[in-house]
Amino acid sequence: MNELQRQNLQAIVDIVFECRTFGQNNGHPAPLHYSRYPALRAIGEQLHEYGGQRLLAKMLNLLEAEIGGYDDGEWASAAFVSSCWNDIGTWQR
């Protein structure tokens, strides 16, 4: 993992934990309604510019390896981030 990936992974992990708490306290709204949605989008756009769809997929795999696929039985971290990245490039079109 290079430095760009390492820094972005840590940022994503931090944001995901904030969003998980927000979601638990607010009935798990659609990703667009989370205050940190723009930050996740910006990271996804930067990663896509640097490495395209492959890098987005790699970062989701690294996220799952870092904190697991499901954090609390309800919250799917990688799925949440992936939803935030919809329509970046051809991601999930």
pLDDT digits (tens, 9 = 90+) for 13-37: 999 999 999 998 999 899 999 999 9
Looking at residue 91, its pLDDT comes to: 84
Cα 75 to Cα 21: distance, rounded to the nearest angstrom = 10
Question: In the chain, pLDDT over 70 holds for what percent of residues?
Answer: 92
Residues in the chain with pLDDT values less than 50: none
Looking at residue 63, its pLDDT comes to: 93
Residue-averaged pLDDT of the chain: 90
Looking at residue 59, its pLDDT comes to: 95
**What are the Cα distances from residue 2, in Å, to 8, 11, 53, 59?**
10, 14, 17, 12
